[in-house]
Structures are given as C-alpha cells and as structure tokens.
A and B are shown apart, each in its own frame.
Chain A
Amino acid sequence: MRPVALEVRLYSAQKAGRVSTENEDSVGGDVRTGRFAVADGASTSARSEMWSQLLVDAYVQGSNPFAADVLAQLRRRWRELVMSPDLPWFALRKIEEGSAAAFLGVTIDPDQRAFHAIMVGDCCLFHIRRGQLLSASPLDRSDQFSRFPELLSSRSGDDPKEPVERIGQLRDEDVLVLATDAMAKSLLRVFETHQRILPLDMMTRSRDDFSRKVASYRQRGYLDNDDVTLCVVWA
C-alpha cells in the first residue's frame, strides 16, 4: 500500500468586533506526525484561550489530553500560566471556577491510510470524498448544536467525559476537516440545504481568503458570529 501524502491548511478567526488576542479557539497540526487538533475554549470560563491552546499543543506533540496523567499535568500547567500574585479579586475567583473547552484531535497513519479521532463537545470532524460528505462526528446535523456541549475542564475535581472516538480509512484525495462549532454548523447547514460542501479549497488558499470568506458568510447569515476555526487535511 502506497503511503498517503498529507497537506494541511489551518486558519482561525476571532468573532467580528473583537481583536485576535480574544480568539478562544486554538488549532494546530503537523503533517510529519500526522497529528491535528482544534479546541474551542468556553467564553464563560477563565482564560479559555490558554486552556484550548494547551490541549491542542499537547495533542499535536503526541499526548492524549484525556489520559489521566496528561490531563493532570495540563491542569497544573494551566494554573501556573494563569496565576500571578497581582491578580485582582475577580480574576482569582474566576480562576477558581476553572476553564473548559471542546476538543477534537485526529491522528493519521499515512502508511495504513487510516485515521483515528478523539473528541469531546461540538468540535466536529468531517470526512469528505469527491465532494460528498461520508461522515460527520460527533454531530451530524446542524440542529444538534446546543448551548451546553460537553467540555474538557481544567478543574482537578472534574472527571473528564468519556471521549467519542472514530476511525476511518483514507483514499487519495479524501479530505478531513476539523472545525469548531460555528464552522461545523455552517458546513452541515449548507450540506443539508444544498447537498454540497462549502468550497474549502478556495476558502483556505490564504489567510486573506479565509478572512474574506468568513466575513462574507457571516454577513449573509451562513455563519454565526463566533470564533471560527478550520483545519483542512488533504490526503
């Protein structure tokens, strides 16, 4: 079996009206190791941009954030990063409440042409073949998105939810899309309405193209005004 060659494009954009440092989504990937991840930090939780970044970095670097020892280490690291002696009372109280994020990690084995995904919450994985949607996980309909998805918490007392796992086989020119909720919902909505996939190639040609498309979709009501993150992997 000929190993599959991978190409990846990954972009993230903050909500309209905010600055990029306020983006609480994170994305990462490495074609050499075949590991890719997105995470969506909960806005109502503390320093969720930091927590989502830690989860993504850990996964891309080869760890499983759902493993008890890794999670404990990430939680300690998050606390070290966000704590400082001169924080105001409200920051200290907020940090005590902890952080949380939806998460999706995908590992591709190019030799076996296989992928394995692990996820919690409403970051979604799409498997696309020749413009057709083969599968969407963990949600596969746009009306399944809710205000209270399951999240991976930074609080040491919170047991992690059992992650959803998916496996699949890749053929040449298959596409895997990792998306945080707004983009995932939009992809599903467009598919449900028009039985087609948004033009991912065109959308991700450059950062400018991505920003323009996101702005345009938001304006036309195709995309909720939320942080938007997309990681597209071509086989």
Chain B
Amino acid sequence: MYTAEINRSHPACLLLLIDQSTSMNETWAGTGTSKADQLALAVNRLLGNAVLLCSKGDDRVHDYFDVGIIGYAQGAAPVLHGSTAERPLLSIGELARNPKRVDPVIRKVSDGAGGLVEAALPVPVWVDPMSDGWTPMVKAVELAESVISQWCREHPRSFPPIVINVTDGASTDGDPRPEAARVRATATGNGETMLFNVHLAAGPRQQVAFAASAEGLPDRNAAMLFDMSSPLPPPMISAAKRLGYQVDEGARGFLYNAEATALIEFLDIGTRAVTPTGLRELTSGSDSMR
C-alpha cells in the first residue's frame, strides 16, 4: 500500500479544507498577522511549490497532481481560483496557468555571473485570506468525501488522495467524525485516503504534533481532531523525523495549537510524503531524484 507510481497517467490528489470562520481574523501567536493571512500565504506557497515541482522550466507543467481547496464558513464550497462546484479539482497544469493573480516580489537572485541582483520574482496567488462565518466542518468533510470518492472511482490505480483540514476552532455544525471516517474509507487500489488535521493556535499554547494516542490531549476538540486523523504512512514519518519532530509508531497526521512554521512544515510533509515512493516518473527512475 502507498507505493503506486505517481505519473501523468496516474496522478495524485491533494485536497485542502480551509476554515474561513470569523475567528480566523484573529492575530496568530507570534506572527503579527491574522491566521487567515498566514494560512493563505502558506497555501499559496504550497501550491506554488507543487507547480514548480511539476514544471520543466518552459511552458510545460506535467500533470502529476489534481488539487482542490474547500473553504468553509458560510457553508462549504470549492474556493480554489478556477475551480467550481462541478469541477472542484484542477490539474496542476490548469492551476499553474490560471492563478488569480501573480504578484511581483522583489528578491535577490543570481545575475548569472556569480553575483546577486534584485529582481521581481513572480509569486502566484490562488487564494486570498477570508474570515467571515461559522465553522461548518461537517459540511466541509461531507463535501470532501463526495469529491474524493468520485476521484477515487476515476483513478483506481493512483496513489490514494491526501486531504488536509486546517481549522482554528471547533465544528459548529456537529461532530464531523462519522464524515471523516467516510473520507478515510474512500480508497484507490493502492490504499485508503489519508485525512490529516491541523489546528491553529489562538495564543501561545503547548503545540501537539503527530500524537500517537489521544491520551494527554488538551481538550475535547483536540481529541475529536485526533480521532478524525489518519496514521502517517512510513514515508511521511521519515519526512517528519527529518524535520526534527518526535514521531512514534502509530503517529497520526495531526497538529494541535500549531505555530505558523509548524503549519508550513506540516503542509510540506503532506506533499513530500508521496515523493520517496511515489513520484517515480517525476523523479525519473525508481530511486532517483533525476
């Protein structure tokens, strides 16, 4: 399980669920900006990196991933620029060619002769910060299940989907655990869908990363998100360990009271997880990064 080659015929799928409730407008501990701002930054960065991974340096982008984002606040709906209720997932190529906008960001880059010069690097944006509404997590996970189950039917030989839910609060439309179980029960021939959960810290609190049991979790909401989360597959455990996390056997894709850097690392691990065993075509050969 979790060993399928990810290639253009058998792409992988990444679906993000993003809490856009009013509380996301609060300042995130230590960042000086709101949780919504930081989350939009992290998501745009993740998508940008995913595009670059599939780009060859010209107009080609190889479609190794299908990507979607479901936002939840006033109900739950696809919010990735270019996606619709009918087409909630986009190929990475479509994503690359159709950002909401491309912001020029001044950075120091190589001048090609050993020096550095300031240049405007194009930074794409697909999602803007939003924070207006409740936290209808049940609806969001329900929609995810419908999107993912259809994708699995259409891609029976693909690496199983990865769904990452990012929230700063508790569900306001009921207990999402049954819906989460249904998401985790969807599968391709290569394994069950992985559902991971990240909870953003409201203030300076003890962060819990990759717990292997619900014992000692700070509150009921943490226990609920833990219950919703899938165990980490071995490549992801290795990726988390490489980033310095203490990860025990049975650890789940679960982060509670997350700090900003931890969110970025978690999203990074989530997409890197498939690389060691999965991206064979992308990495040119069964064992090679070339």
Instruction: From the candidates A93, A98, A156, A227, name the one contacting B121 in the complex (CB within 8 A).
Output: A93
A99 vs B110: C-alpha distance when bound (angstroms): 13
Given A43-B282, A72-B114, A147-B283, is A89 in contact with B288 using a C-beta cutoff of 8 Å?
no
Given A46-B57, A82-B58, A156-B111, is A90 in contact with B96 using a C-beta cutoff of 8 Å?
yes
Minimum C-beta distance from A73 to chain B (A): 10
CB of A89 within 8 A of CB of B122, answer: yes
Contacts of B48 in A (CB 8 A): 93
Given A17-B9, A88-B59, is A43 in contact with B284 using a C-beta cutoff of 8 Å?
yes
Q: Mark A169-209, 1 if CB is under 8 A from B, else 0.
A: 00000000000011000000000000000000000000000
Minimum C-beta distance from A67 to chain B (A): 15
Chain B contact residue count (CB 8 A cutoff): 39
The reply to whether the CB of A91 lies closer than 8 angstroms to some CB of chain B is yes
Q: Mark A156-168, 1 if CB is under 8 A from B, else 0.
A: 1100000000000
CB of A227 within 8 A of CB of B284, answer: yes
CB of B285 within 8 A of CB of A225, answer: yes
Instruction: From the candidates A17, A46, A181, name the one contacting B56 in the complex (CB within 8 A).
Output: A46
CB of A157 within 8 A of CB of B290, answer: no
Q: Mark B96-116, 1 if CB is under 8 A from A, else 0.
A: 110100100000011111111
Q: Which of B147-205 contact A (CB under 8 A)?
A: none
CB of B290 within 8 A of CB of A181, answer: yes
Q: Which of A135-170 contact B (CB under 8 A)?
A: 145-149, 151, 155-157
CB of B59 within 8 A of CB of A156, answer: no
CB of A89 within 8 A of CB of B56, answer: no
CB of B113 within 8 A of CB of A88, answer: no
The reply to whether the CB of B52 lies closer than 8 angstroms to some CB of chain A is yes
Number of A-B contacts (CB under 8 A): 116
The reply to whether the CB of A87 lies closer than 8 angstroms to some CB of chain B is yes
Which of B61, B283, B284, B289 gathers most chain A CB within 10 Å?
Answer: B284
Instruction: From the candidates B97, B102, B114, B284, name the one contacting A24 in the complex (CB within 8 A).
Output: B284
CB of B59 within 8 A of CB of A102, answer: no
A181 vs B111: C-alpha distance when bound (angstroms): 32
Range for the number of chain A residues in contact with chain B? 35 or more
CB of B122 within 8 A of CB of A226, answer: no
Contacts of B51 in A (CB 8 A): 90
Chain A residue nearest to B9 in the complex (CB): A17
The reply to whether the CB of B22 lies closer than 8 angstroms to some CB of chain A is no
Minimum C-beta distance from B114 to chain A (A): 5
A221 vs B202: C-alpha distance when bound (angstroms): 53
Instruction: From the candidates B9, B283, B288, name the one contacting A181 in the complex (CB within 8 A).
Output: B288
Chain A residue nearest to B109 in the complex (CB): A96
CB of A47 within 8 A of CB of B289, answer: no
Given A43-B284, A90-B61, A93-B52, is A155 in contact with B110 using a C-beta cutoff of 8 Å?
yes
Instruction: From the candidates B99, B113, B124, B281, name the one contacting A72 in the complex (CB within 8 A).
Output: B113
CB of B285 within 8 A of CB of A226, answer: yes
Given A89-B102, A90-B96, A156-B111, is A44 in contact with B57 using a C-beta cutoff of 8 Å?
no
* A and B contact pairs by CB, cutoff 8 A, 23 listed: A24-B290, A40-B290, A43-B282, A44-B282, A44-B290, A47-B57, A72-B114, A75-B112, A82-B57, A91-B55, A91-B57, A93-B48, A93-B55, A96-B109, A96-B110, A98-B110, A145-B287, A147-B283, A156-B112, A224-B286, A224-B288, A226-B285, A226-B286
Name A's B-contacting residues (CB within 8 A): 15, 17, 24, 40-48, 72, 75-76, 79, 82, 87-99, 102, 145-149, 151, 155-157, 181-182, 224-227
